[in-house]
Amino acid sequence: MMTNLSLKYFASVTGAILLFHSIPGFAQDDMMAADDPCALELTVDNSVDWRGLYGRGYEVFEEGESFETVTLSVRHQGAACGFFLTAAPVSGGGVNALTGPGDPLYYDILKSSSGPSFLSPDFQGTETSRVDGQFPEGSGVQGATLLVSIPAHQIVRGGTYSGQVMVRLFRAGGGIQDLVGEAPLAILAPVASVLKIRSDDFPQGIRETTIDLGDLSRATRTAIDFNIMSNAEVAVTFQSANRGQLAHQAGAPGIDYNLAFKGENIDLSAATSSSRLNYAPSRIERAVPLEIVVPAPIGLPAAGQYSDALTVTFTAD
């Protein structure tokens, strides 16, 4: 007596120093009087939209690092003076964190790809966080580009995460540091729901296999492990072509079998049955067992081959 259960599954998913540089097109006005006061004006990009490595937003399971740029500019006129810029988060409880539907998504704004950070909890920043500049007498504009970083290895739920930074401009000179301007910078980062599934019981890259349940003249039990990684709730549905019965190849009476997923009994008599996997933030795969149990028969089943087609579908919500 031979038995084969055709099983397939599907997965779906609903060190540099930063210096200001002059911006071409803004010539110094040599006609400005030396005794005119130093006037400074700050301009900052309104927002930064995080596109990530592949343009899809933040990828929770990707190892690579990427950056988004933000441009700052300072317009000056009047007497020569120095200035510096600093910034601090004004959302996320004062922490460098974007808020959304899940755990905080931490970020930073860097002066170069290797740091240091432009952000500081100190109102006037620190020696390492500040961006300094100097204007001669006259008028002009200087600008700089900073890098927004969202480090890898953060497992958060799918959704949109956002936060805000306040950039501050100070006039510096003669031991005096005057706040002359502020501008908000919004940071938006979409995080997609991701679902990764593999099983050592399926050939590599193949999502369909045949499982031998052994001799059905006695009780048998077969276990299959699905290894799952996801940053979302996962819905699992089960469909049996024969409604939970192994059909005989020649039409003899079939043999009922039972299915358990992560220890829960699944009713295969319905057209579709379902279960759920709760979201668990981790970069480690979860082994979720699927058990196929054929009870000991009453009497001796007809000789021959018995089979069913079972489809398991995983969907990230």
Q: What is the CATH code for 32-191? A: 2.60.40.2550
pLDDT at position 17, please? 35
pLDDT in tens, 78-100: 999 999 999 999 987 889 999 99
Q: How confident is the model at residue 28 (pLDDT cuts 50, 70, 90)?
A: very low
pLDDT over threshold 90, residue 53: no
Name the pTM for this structure.
0.81
Q: Helix/strand/coil (H, E, C) string of the chain?
A: CEEEEEEEEEEEECCCCCCCEECCCCCCCCCCCCCCCCEEEEEECCEEECCCCCCCCECCCCCCCCEEEEEEEEEEEECCEEEEEEEEECCCCCCCEEECCCCCEECEEECCCCCCECECCCCCCCCCCCEEEEECCEEEEEEEEEEEECCCCCCCCCEEEEEEEEEEEEEEECCEEEEEEEEEEEEEEEECCCEEEECCCCCCCCCEEEECCCCCCCCEEEEEEEEEEECCCEEEEEEECCCCEEEECCCCCCEECEEEECCEEECCCCCCEEEEECCCCCCCCEEEEEEEEECCCCCCCCCCEEEEEEEEEEEEC
pLDDT of residue 10: 63
What is the pLDDT of the chain when averaged over all its residues? Answer: 89
What is the rounded average pLDDT of the residues 305-314?
Answer: 96
Give the domain ranges of the chain.
Answer: 2-11+195-316, 32-191
The reply to whether domains 2-11+195-316 and 32-191 share a CATH topology is: yes
**2-11+195-316: CATH architecture:** Sandwich (2.60)
